[in-house]
Amino acid sequence: MESSSSKYLLILLAIFYLINSSSASRNVPSKITASTEFIKTSCSSTTYPTLCYKSLARHASLIQTSPKLLAHASLNVTLAMAKSTSAVMLKMSKSPGMKPREADAMQDCLEELSDSVDELRKSIGEMGLIKASNFELTMNDIQTWVSAALTDDTTCSDGFEKNTVNGKVVRGQIVKIAHMTSNALALINSYASLHA
């Protein structure tokens, strides 16, 4: 008897959860819809719009419809990806059995990626300091650093052979970071153009 009442309680809880979650999805504020539409429209002007939208849509409630917050979020998402890839590459570089050419490419790439991470960090820091009085100078710095980060990413990916397992894995991640960096630069340029 007790197990049937437990089952009954679980069924009631499941029904309650379903009712609440479906009514919550119907009551999504229009701001989130407007935010995701804003992100989709903004990303359509980037070189990699699908990647742009997928990487930023989950941050829609924070971005809202702000070009500045969109550019800032894009930098943060790119930085997070670069840092996590760098950590994985560092572990891979210490694994035994790596060919000397791969090990050299990995070390070179880690240096390039470290530079990219630093440039993205500087850009994020400067985004937080933008004011009307320093807008043009600050945006020029940010655009320069993000462009340099993109060059670092591209240089890094060029060092890997496409026909090795490690090369394919690392190169794929670095190319994704380069695409995200490219998207961030496009969103930054778009934001800068609003104040030109």
Return the structure tokens found at 162: 């496409």
Q: What domains can you pick out in the chain, each with its CATH number?
A: 36-193 (1.20.140.40)
**End-to-end CA separation in angstroms for the chain:** 74
Please provide residue 94's backbone torsions phi and psi, each rounded to the nearest 5 degrees: -95, 0
Lowest-pLDDT range of 61-70, 101-110, 181-190: 101-110
pTM (2 d.p.): 0.80
pLDDT per residue over 116-175, tens digit each?
999 999 999 999 999 999 999 999 999 999 999 999 998 888 777 666 666 777 888 899
DSSP track, 86-131:
HHHHHHHHTSTT--HHHHHHHHHHHHHHHHHHHHHHHHHHHHTT--
Q: What is the mean pLDDT of the chain?
A: 83
pLDDT per residue over 100-109, tens digit each?
877 888 889 9
